[in-house]
Structure 1
Amino acid sequence: MPYRSIYRPGLFSGQTIIVTGGGSGIGRCTAHELASLGAHVALVGRDPAKLRAVLEEIAAEECCASAHECDIRDDAAVIAVVEAVLAAHGRIDGLVNNAGGQYYGPMKDFSTKGFDAVVRTNLTGGFIFMREVYARWMERHGGAIVNMIAAVGNGLPGYAHSGAARSGMLNLTETAAVEWAPSGVRVNAVAPGLIASSGFDNYSDEGAAAIRARILGIPLQRYGDVAEISAAITYLLSPAAAYVTGTCLRVDGGATNAPAGYRIAPHDRSKPYEGFHLPSLPAMLEK
């Protein structure tokens, strides 16, 4: 069974799109959807085994992708990937800045080294990829960039380092949208809420408990599906979003809108869009 995208076949035919963090979770799903719509997807990540697995999945669907091992925090490594993609395919039409990561804990316990590591992963690395893709291709040819952030409008207790970085990425998105518009480059962001992906399994037991508790404050009373984030990313990359730049599409089940202390009646009326044909339920939700 192929990817069940809501978008028309061939939407990205002839295009090359980079997806960082493409070896798992949202990145893996997004890579599958974009490839199913005709794009050559350049998968970027630090784990070659994960990248190879996704590459084989996409090849089995008779779609096109390539794998590029890279630490997005390393200028030279990012430049090498961008140059390799251009050498092989001659263009970069889109960038999905999806790679990121964090850990759960109270801000008072974060070491400076730990804080810096999360900021470099969730902000600096994304900036480096944006800068190099723009300088080496998009400044002259245009393109679309989608940055992954998080729903941080009311702070992000338990993830202060990530909240700070994601807020910075939102501002970076808004700034780049203005500065790069004369080059025909659109820059937007997607802010996922609690999405049932493999990323859940990276948290400690304390972090997992916090995630389970937060579902009580989500108006739609469920976790999001990775395909629901991929669909948002795909829209922002597509011609349908030609007049959309400098904005953030929040996909969080309405969690940001729920006032603290407001009691949300339990329900099961919200049904997920499950377009990904190879989903993997995080172990945390199987317990």
Structure 2
Amino acid sequence: MSYTSVFQPGLFNGHTVIVTGGGSGIGRCTAHELAALGAHVIITGRKQEKLDQVTEEIQTDGGQVSSLAFDIRDEPAVEQAVAELANKHGQIHGLVNNAGGQFPAPLEMISAKGFDAVVRSNLLGGFLMAREVYKHSMQKHGGAIVNITADNLNGMPAMGHSGAARAGMENLTKTCAWEWGYFGVRVNAVAPGWVASSGFDTYDPHFQSLIKGVKDHVPLKRLAFEAEISAAICFLLSPGASFINGHTLRIDGGSSQGSAPAIWPLPKGAAVNTHAFNGFHRAKLPEMLKDDEAK
């Protein structure tokens, strides 16, 4: 079977698109869709064996794909890799900054080393890739960049390091869009909510048990499929998004419209060590709340 895309066949014919973190999850899915739509996809990641597996899949499906293994957190490695790719393939039409990673932990348990590792994966690496692709191709030819952030609108309990990095990427997206728009470069981001992706398998059993209940806190009452994220990425890369620049598209089933996610449930009862302030001398408690106040 071939990839079933909502977009017209040949949409990206003649285009070269880099997808970082293309060996698994959303990156793997996006690479498949872009290749099915005619793009020559270059997938990158740290492990060549994972890239080889996806390369074989795409080639079996009739797509054009190449791969290159390197660490996006390593500045000299990124500079060398992007220069090599630009020299070999010519114009780079699109970049999907998908690579990243995190681990669940409360803030007080995150070390400086752990915090730095997540920020380097989810923010620094994306910046380095965007900068080098811009310098080696897009400043001269234009292009489109899509950064992958996360649903961090109300914070990211249990993943504060990732939330901080993703918020930085969202702001960086806006700055890139402003500075590079003159050169015909559009830079946008997508912020997925909870996606049924292979990344879930990397978490410990306790965290996996919490994830199973997340869908109950999504208005659409389900998790997203990887293809629903990929479709949004492909749209932002496409000519149909030619006047969209500096925007972050939330793909979360509406969950960001509510409170913090159930992955970090609050204890029942009143909070401890808190003190309320009400300086209004004529304030009156609503009748509907007086029964609760008396308890």
Q: Which runs of 4+ in 1 moved over 3 A?
A: 259-262
Instruction: Tell me what 2:162 maps to.
Output: 162
Instruction: Tell me what 1:40 maps to.
Output: 40
Instruction: Tell me what 2:219 maps to.
Output: 219
Query: Which structure 2 residues correspond to residues 134-145 of structure 1 after superposition, within 5 A?
Result: 134-145=134-145
Structure 2 Cα separation of the partners of residues 260 and 32 of structure 1: 33
Q: 1:260 to 1:194 in 2, by over 3 A?
A: closer
Query: Which structure 2 residues correspond to residues 122-161 of structure 1 after superposition, within 5 A?
Result: 122-161=122-161
Structure 1 Cα separation of the partners of residues 178 and 226 of structure 2: 29
* Contact 2:157/2:260, CA 8 A, preserved across alignment: no
Instruction: Tell me what 1:106 maps to.
Output: 106
Structure 1 Cα separation of the partners of residues 260 and 63 of structure 2: 46
Residue 65, structure 1, aligned to residue 65, structure 2 = yes
| Higher alpha-carbon deviation: 252-261 or 65-74 | 252-261
Equivalent residues, number:
262
Task: Look at both structures and tell me which one has the larger radius of gyration over its CA atoms.
Answer: 2
Identify unmatched segments of 5+ residues in structure 2. 263-295
SS state of the match for residue 82, structure 1? helix
Query: Which structure 2 residues correspond to residues 1-287 of structure 1 after superposition, within 5 A?
Result: 1-259=1-259
Structure 1 Cα separation of the partners of residues 259 and 55 of structure 2: 43
Structure 2 Cα separation of the partners of residues 196 and 213 of structure 1: 13
Measure how far apart 1:258 and its partner are: 2.4
Tell me which of the two structures has the higher relative contact order, counting C-alpha pairs closer than 8 angstroms and 6 or more residues apart: 1
Structure 1 Cα separation of the partners of residues 34 and 210 of structure 2: 32
Structure 2 Cα separation of the partners of residues 161 and 211 of structure 1: 19
- Per-residue CA deviations over 1:34-85 (Å, capped at 9, x if unaligned) read 0011100000001111100000011111210101001000111112221222
- Per-residue CA deviations over 1:215-274 (Å, capped at 9, x if unaligned) read 221001111000000000000000000010100111011100124699xxxxxxxxxxxx
Structure 1 Cα separation of the partners of residues 183 and 135 of structure 2: 11
Structure 1 Cα separation of the partners of residues 121 and 56 of structure 2: 26
* Contact 1:42/1:68, CA 8 A, preserved across alignment: yes
- Per-residue CA deviations over 1:98-138 (Å, capped at 9, x if unaligned) read 00000001000000000000000000000000100001111
| Higher alpha-carbon deviation: 103-112 or 210-219 | 210-219
Q: Which residue type is aligned with residue 81 of structure 1?
A: A
Structure 2 Cα separation of the partners of residues 85 and 136 of structure 1: 9
- Per-residue CA deviations over 1:156-177 (Å, capped at 9, x if unaligned) read 0000000000000000001110
SS state of the match for residue 83, structure 1? helix
Percent identical among aligned pairs is 56
Q: 1:93 to 1:205 in 2, by over 3 A?
A: same
- Tell me the TM-score normalised to structure 1 length: 0.89
- Tell me the TM-score normalised to structure 2 length: 0.87
Structure 2 Cα separation of the partners of residues 20 and 96 of structure 1: 6
SS state of the match for residue 180, structure 1? helix
Say what the alpha-carbon RMSD is for the aligned residues.
1.3
Measure how far apart 1:204 and its partner are: 1.3
Instruction: Tell me what 1:285 maps to.
Output: none
Structure 1 Cα separation of the partners of residues 57 and 80 of structure 2: 25
Structure 1 Cα separation of the partners of residues 145 and 113 of structure 2: 29
